[in-house]
Amino acid sequence: MAVATGSRPPRPAVIRKLGHLENYHQAWHTLRHLLGVVIACRYALPTSAAVQAEDHARALFEHAVAQTVLDHPMLRVAIVDAEAKKSSWVRVDSLDLAAHMDWQTLNCTSEQDYEDRLQAIIDHHHDTDFPHLDTRPGWRMTLLRRRIVALDDKGTAGAELEPFVECVFAWNHSHFDGMSAKMFHETLLANLNKVTASEENMAQIPLQGHLLDLSTFPLTKDNFTPNLHDITKLPVTPGFTVKTAWKELKPPKKQSSSTSTRTASPQRDSHGAAWAPIVASSYKTHTLRSHSLDGPALAKILALCRKQEGGGITLTALVHALCLSSLVSLFPRTQSANAGALKPDSFEAATAINFRRFLKPNPPGYPSLDPGRTMANYVTGMDHKFGPGIVSEMRETDPPAAADTTSDAKLTDAARKAIWKAAAQIKHDLDARMERGNKNDQTGLMGLVGDWRAQHTANTKKPRHTAWNLSNLGVIDGGSTDEASWAVTKCWFTVGAMVCGGVFMITPVAVKGQGLFIGCTWQDGVLDKQFAEKFFARLIDRLRELVAE
């Protein structure tokens, strides 16, 4: 039976088209090349008895989330024509927070039991798409309360809930970048303390039940978050254009069927990451996490970085160098005839760059815009190459037992020197990139691509080049140590596996006074789980060894 035209729901009001960078990420999502990014923060509850009550704690949290949605326009828009070449942002007039916030109480037998269940939730968010893109904003959260208790025969838990809420926030990268998610948590923390301090602050939020009324906060092109290309010029030189366009946009070479398997002939391209070929047929993320350094240890490693010859080394540069050291040590020292025992002589890596540092506040047409406080996709990246020289030095100075994946051999003095040498190289790369500002950046060439879904699909047929991507969110201010306030005490930042990106996604984030937390993800079927686990374990062990100097 035909459906009357009048019975169809009205098309939401279009605010603007997605920008180049937003369409780039939206194509990833619809192709299942990257589904979800996660930043999970642990919020310690104030000691007030009223706040400790479960129903009241939930109400406070929901009102604080509602206010955060009002504070950041990108949290209250949806996407129409998601699989088209050009998608659009549309207005959402109301938001059912119950569809975005999932509360769970976990009765756990141990700390490890809880961590395992938390890990399963994080991986679920990595591997689950956002199915209602045209009617719901692309974010969601799981909020966890925990009891650690030995269950009785009836499965009854008698212990009290522990005084924290674990907020696992996941989002579609089309909406905003990692720095934006950091802003989300910092805004949420501030709003939690506001609504806790005053019932009047809570009452002013237009929340009825779980429904947030957005009709009195209409978004238009004039007051909505602009895309990157509308607020800054991105000049590129002819030389940069030719070099970058050829590398990124050239069509894939015709390849034999054997190159699509993990036992292909990677000797043909030992400069890339042919040891972990692209797998586009399935998508599942594996995740590892480590509270790598406590507060004092993080302060010590940062001081050690500052003391290095030639000026301070950043933590980002050091983690890159440790990734190289840890990865090189897992390959055989000599080339084997067996393709699976490849000894790469070079590696490539990439760093996510926060573009906000190059953007001025109040750009023409947007007099109230402060990019540093705006949730958006204001991000870019840069590549690094570790050539045969530094790779050979890493390999030769690494402890002989390190090639044995069951060994935890300690770093030699020569190996430490090689690590700092590699870190200095990354520092030089990053310094040069900072000096360029918004000039000769890959985002300046995004207009050359008319169909990002087609481009990403073509990329699956090319060799993988990047061994790891590193995205460092810096430091989250966890708030006051005053027990009367909410505070963030832990944070985990993890990015779902990237089908055509780095083999590993390495994601450090620090919480002020609490130390450094590092995540590592990779795609199932790309490489052996034992190899990945050993790589990450060595990365963390070697970081801690440097602290012990």
Cα distances (angstroms) measured from residue 212 to each of 95, 468, 515 = 5, 40, 36
Residues 410 and 518 in one domain: yes
The Cα 322–Cα 415 span in angstroms is 10
Evaluate whether residue 490 is within a structural domain: no
pLDDT digits (tens, 9 = 90+) for 200-253: 989 999 999 999 999 999 999 999 999 999 999 999 999 999 988 887 777 766
The pTM (predicted TM-score) of the whole model is 0.92
Number of domains in the chain: 2
With beta carbons less than 8 A apart as the criterion, state whether 147 and 162 touch. yes
Residues 280 and 404 in one domain: yes
Q: Please name the residues in contact with 314: beta carbons below 8 A apart, sequence gap of 6 or more.
A: 305, 427, 430
Q: In what order do the strands lie in the sheet with 207-208?
A: 94-96, 211-213, 207-208
CB-neighbour burial class of residue 208 (10 A; exposed 0-12, middle 13-18, buried 19+): exposed
Evaluate whether residue 363 is within a structural domain: yes
Residues 204 and 283 in one domain: no
pLDDT digits (tens, 9 = 90+) for 319-336: 999 999 999 999 987 655
Residues 299 and 418 in one domain: yes
158 or 76, which is more confident = 76
Residues 73 and 191 in one domain: yes
Evaluate whether residue 485 is within a structural domain: no
The Cα 67–Cα 71 span in angstroms is 6
The Cα 425–Cα 92 span in angstroms is 47
Assess whether pLDDT exceeds 80 at residue 300. Answer: yes
Secondary structure string (H, E, C) spanning 291-330? EEECHHHHHHHHHHHHCCCCCCCCHHHHHHHHHHHHHHCC
Evaluate whether residue 206 is within a structural domain: yes
The Cα 151–Cα 496 span in angstroms is 34
Assess whether pLDDT exceeds 90 at residue 529. Answer: yes
pLDDT digits (tens, 9 = 90+) for 178-208: 999 999 999 999 999 999 998 898 999 999 9
CB-neighbour burial class of residue 79 (10 A; exposed 0-12, middle 13-18, buried 19+): buried
Please report which confidence band the pLDDT of residue 482 belongs to, taking 50, 70 and 90 as the band edges: confident
The Cα 216–Cα 210 span in angstroms is 17
Q: Which of 162, 181, 213 is the last residue of a domain?
A: 213
The CATH number of the domain holding residue 419 is: 3.30.559.30
Evaluate whether residue 489 is within a structural domain: no
Evaluate whether residue 234 is within a structural domain: no
Structural domain containing residue 325? 275-472+499-547
- pLDDT value of residue 408: 59
**Side-chain half-sphere of 213: how many Cα atoms within 13 Å?**
8
- List the Cα angle 429/431/437 in 5-degree steps: 105
pLDDT digits (tens, 9 = 90+) for 409-434: 688 999 999 999 999 999 999 999 99
Residues 206 and 280 in one domain: no
Residues 173 and 300 in one domain: no
Residues 519 and 428 in one domain: yes
Assess whether pLDDT exceeds 60 at residue 516. Answer: yes
Evaluate whether residue 516 is within a structural domain: yes
Residues 311 and 183 in one domain: no
Q: Is the dihedral of CA 285, 290, 292, 295 positive or negative?
A: positive
- pLDDT value of residue 183: 98
Percentage of residues in the chain having pLDDT higher than 70: 90
- pLDDT value of residue 158: 62
The CATH number of the domain holding residue 45 is: 3.30.559.10
Residues 319 and 430 in one domain: yes
Assess whether pLDDT exceeds 80 at residue 407. Answer: no
Assess whether pLDDT exceeds 90 at residue 14. Answer: yes
Q: Which of 182, 213, 244 is the last residue of a domain?
A: 213
Assess whether pLDDT exceeds 90 at residue 160. Answer: no
| Token digits of residue 533 | 């686990």
Evaluate whether residue 440 is within a structural domain: yes
DSSP code at position 489: E
Cα distances (angstroms) measured from residue 448 to each of 83, 225, 442, 452 = 19, 23, 11, 10
The Cα 288–Cα 300 span in angstroms is 24
- pLDDT value of residue 153: 59
Residues 194 and 297 in one domain: no
Alpha helices (runs of H) in 33-176, residue ranges in sequence order = 49-52, 54-71, 111-126
The Cα 502–Cα 296 span in angstroms is 31
With beta carbons less than 8 A apart as the criterion, state whether 36 and 184 touch. no
Residues 420 and 531 in one domain: yes
Q: Which of 213, 228, 263 is the last residue of a domain?
A: 213
